[in-house]
Amino acid sequence: MAVAHNPLKQKIEFVKGVGEAKAQLLKAELGVSTIEDMINIFPFRYDDRSVFSLLKDVRGGDSVQLKGTLVSLKKVKGKGRSRLTGMFKDPSGIIELTWFQGAKWIADTLKVNHEYILYGKINAYRGKRSIPHPEMELASKAEKQAAFLPVYASTDALTRRGLGMRARRNIVQHIFNILRPSHFIEVLPPKIMAMLKLCNAYEAYKWIHFPQNDTERSHASNRLKFEELFFLQLRILQVKKTRELKFKGLVFEKVGNFFNRFFKEKLEFELTGAQKRVIKEIRADMGSERQMNRLLQGDVGSGKTIVALMSMLIALDNGYQACLLAPTEILAQQHFTSITESLKGLGIHIAFLSGSVKGKVRRELFRFLKDGHIDILIGTHAILEDPVQFKKLGLAVTDEQHRFGVAQRAKLWTKNKDRPPHILVMTATPIPRTLAMTTYGDLEVSVIDELPPGRKPINTVHKTERDRMRIIKFMKEEIAIGHQVYIVYPLIEESATLDLENLQQGYEELLNYFPLQEYQIAVVNGRMKAADKDMEMQRFVSGKAQIMVATTVIEVGVNVPNASIMIIENAARFGLSQLHQLRGRVGRGAEQSYCILMTKPQLTHYAKERIKTMCRTNNGFEIAEVDMKLRGPGDLEGTQQSGVLDLKIANIASDVKIMQTARHFAIELLAEDPLLEAPELYNTKMYLERLKTKHQSWGRIS
């Protein structure tokens, strides 16, 4: 139980070594106001101070701990500011130390001819070694330190103003001098603590900052990661449960004439096993009394649209309407054209709505929709506007759902008067399983994990500038047999001007090989007016232009079956999921397609990994897993807006087992006690309520 005046709630300025000025800086840079805030900023690594190196054994780039004597110290005047240099000697050699900041304070603090423990990074320049800004501690004092010293993420402002690594450590050390086990409220259920043999909260916090050995560090890390992921899962699962109890779904009991006729008369190919499985899952949802809230994942070309269309036909068979939202006009128009063609002769009324539908046509559409004459409405964000009213909306499908804001998608719930429509959200961005368990943990998830038969995997190759002429020749050969080519340039938000220069330069160079007398080239970039962009896209979609030169604004999901080559310039600048999305623009037809990744010959380690992964596999889920490991989950497209991935210590990519354990225990606990009413769960319930106020949940809106 917590004591009446808990030091954890004490303001940080009252801690030894802080004061008002530093407290303001900690708040501005790290969001720290209290002792509790401070100890919740965990070290990202530890310096092992149990191991000493000798100067004769170290190389440039090594982080080392040395024991020796400071033999000299002097100020050196330069053209700008002066610096401080020193010579440090150990039993095997001597090395120069340099300080460019805080020279006066350091000169007054350090003592020549005294023995020190030094920690720093070896800098090697033109054969000469030095250690810039080393940490120095008198050997007599340093020997009393812990073996593992915490290293915290910092900022230039903190370092400049006296809150560097050692100062931060000292502050946290002073905090733990006053904290006791009784100051910590145990929020994890006692039964789970016992089953998993977890250390208590005080031990976890003390050991994560100052472990005496690797066992303590490991126990603390596992406990804190489990706690974070356990409460994350509790929040997600409670939202899901609340939605199921609060919002009853429309019951679609039958699969009738529209569905069956389409299946027997109109479906030109056999559904894959994955498509059949997903349709079965959707039918079960729509036939129960639960409101469906399902995420449909499927790689580019896996057949998500057919699944969505057949789901809409179930709504129609039960006397309801359906709608499909797409993020852009060209994609919405493409859906409208293909669905209209697919349903021809079935007596189904389909309408299209976007910002460009105006005047009398728009007013009539609104009237027909409200009186039930329109069965399926396909369009853009315009569907979300207030004047758009359905007679009986039964299913709302959102394509490329991460392109819609959460508040926008919330409007779909208001489109039906009695009960909210069933919701199906589709994405071609593969989401790793562990990320889906968190970001979309309150949705049911369906995965189409196989491509239709006859689809050929896209052949992906890595090339450099020396291969340019062979690529030009290959492009000409493909165009000669009626195929089309995308050439994409990276988009760097900080430098839109540079992007346009790169694109313009690339376009002008292309004209040397593809003169406008013989070839048509469409150009699309983010600075063009929407109408101009659509016109250029349409030239390419219709086949009038053989080559499209674009920045990454080329539309997700646009279907150009003739496009057989995707050339990505400066491919090393793209993330893996972005490269995979761009590659998915080709390979839409039965012909063999190619993706050519152009880079400079020298690549960083991470760039090499991305390029190698793209050339090795076409599997979007495998690519997403690698992407998450390389970049971290918070960077993946569409995850930031969820507000769920505000994790301090757990890592979705590497802590899969802890995540699965946390979810298992969260499910089990809520099954036994949905409202957490047992007396021993009081602290668990209170902490969960605290977290809920911090994270407003939009989960019920998908």
Instruction: Express each pLDDT in 240-297 by its tens digit.
Output: 777 777 778 899 999 999 999 999 988 888 899 999 999 999 999 999 888 888 889 8
Residue 177 · residue 210 · CB < 8 Å: no
Cα–Cα distance for residue pair 504/245, rounded to 1 Å: 56
- Whether the pLDDT of residue 701 is over 70: the answer is no
Instruction: Express each pLDDT in 58-87 by its tens digit.
Output: 888 888 899 999 999 998 887 767 789 999
> What DSSP state is assigned to residue 356?
T
Q: Is residue 688 situated within a structural domain?
A: no
Give the CATH number for residue 58: 2.40.50.140
Cα–Cα distance for residue pair 424/144, rounded to 1 Å: 61
Q: Is residue 216 situated within a structural domain?
A: no
Residue reference for tokens 């080393």: 134
Percentage of residues in the chain with pLDDT exceeding 90? 51
Q: Residues 420, 520: one domain?
A: no
Instruction: Express each pLDDT in 153-172 by its tens digit.
Output: 888 888 888 888 888 999 99
Q: Which of 124, 144, 164 is the last residue of a domain?
A: 144
Cα–Cα distance for residue pair 494/497, rounded to 1 Å: 9
Q: Residues 337, 422: one domain?
A: yes
- Whether the pLDDT of residue 404 is over 70: the answer is no
Residue 186 · residue 193 · CB < 8 Å: yes
Give, to the nearest 10 degrees, the angle between helix 201-209 and helix 165-178.
150
Q: Is residue 12 situated within a structural domain?
A: yes
Q: What share of the chain is helix, strand, coil (3-state, %, to 5)?
A: 45, 20, 35
Q: Residues 501, 604: one domain?
A: yes
Structure-token pair, residue 210:
């100052």
CA angle 444, 447, 450 (to 5 degrees): 170
Instruction: Express each pLDDT in 14-69 by its tens digit.
Output: 998 899 999 999 999 999 999 999 999 999 888 877 788 999 998 888 888 999 99
Q: Residues 308, 389: one domain?
A: yes
Cα–Cα distance for residue pair 638/186, rounded to 1 Å: 34
Instruction: Express each pLDDT in 409-423 by its tens digit.
Output: 567 777 877 788 999
- Residue 83 has a pLDDT of 85
Q: Is residue 364 situated within a structural domain?
A: yes
Residues 6+ apart with CB under 8 A from 391: 321, 369, 370, 371, 372
DSSP lists the bridge partners of residue 521 as 547
Give the CATH number for residue 542: 3.40.50.300
- Whether the pLDDT of residue 570 is over 70: the answer is yes
Residue 383 · residue 323 · CB < 8 Å: yes
Structure-token pair, residue 535:
């016109």
CA angle 381, 383, 387 (to 5 degrees): 125
Q: Residues 166, 39: one domain?
A: yes
> What DSSP state is assigned to residue 272?
P
Q: Provide the number of structural domains found in the chain.
A: 4
Q: Residues 265, 127: one domain?
A: no
Q: Residues 74, 162: one domain?
A: no
Cα–Cα distance for residue pair 1/109, rounded to 1 Å: 44
Q: Residues 58, 26: one domain?
A: no
Domain range enclosing 576:
459-617
Residue 447: alpha-carbon gap to chain centroid: 19
Give the CATH number for residue 15: 1.10.150
Cα–Cα distance for residue pair 13/22, rounded to 1 Å: 7
> What DSSP state is assigned to residue 262?
I
Q: Residues 280, 405: one domain?
A: yes
Dihedral, 310, 314, 316, 322 alpha carbons, nearest 10: -60
Q: Which of 144, 170, 205 is the last residue of a domain?
A: 144
- Residue 373 has a pLDDT of 95
Rg, Å, the chain Cα set = 31
Cα–Cα distance for residue pair 323/330, rounded to 1 Å: 17
Sign of CA dihedral 553, 557, 559, 561: positive
Report the SS3 class of residue 132: strand
Q: Which of 92, 119, 144 is the last residue of a domain?
A: 144
Cα–Cα distance for residue pair 27/34, rounded to 1 Å: 9
Q: Is residue 9 situated within a structural domain?
A: yes
Q: Residue 541 burial (CB < 10 Å; 0-12/13-18/19+)?
A: buried
Q: Is residue 650 situated within a structural domain?
A: no
- Residue 529 has a pLDDT of 83
Residue 577 · residue 632 · CB < 8 Å: no
- Whether the pLDDT of residue 628 is over 60: the answer is yes
- Which one is predicted more confidently, 128 or 283? 283
Q: Residues 464, 613: one domain?
A: yes
Q: Residues 161, 131: one domain?
A: no
Q: Give 669's pLDDT tier (boundaries 50, 70, 90).
A: very high
Instruction: Express each pLDDT in 476-504 by its tens digit.
Output: 999 999 999 999 988 644 455 555 567 78
Mean per-residue pLDDT, 521-540: 85
Q: Residues 163, 266: one domain?
A: no
Per DSSP, the residues of 504-543 read: HHHHHHHHHHS-TTT--EEEE-TTS-HHHHHHHHHHHHTT
Closest alpha carbon to 399 in 329, 488, 316:
329
Q: Residue 497 burial (CB < 10 Å; 0-12/13-18/19+)?
A: exposed
Q: Is residue 218 situated within a structural domain?
A: no
For 90, phi and psi rounded to 5 degrees?
-120, 180
Q: Is residue 132 situated within a structural domain?
A: yes
Q: Give 93's pLDDT tier (boundaries 50, 70, 90).
A: very high
Closest alpha carbon to 398 in 416, 413, 418:
413
Phi-psi region of 452 (alpha: psi -120 to 50; beta: other; left: phi over 0): beta
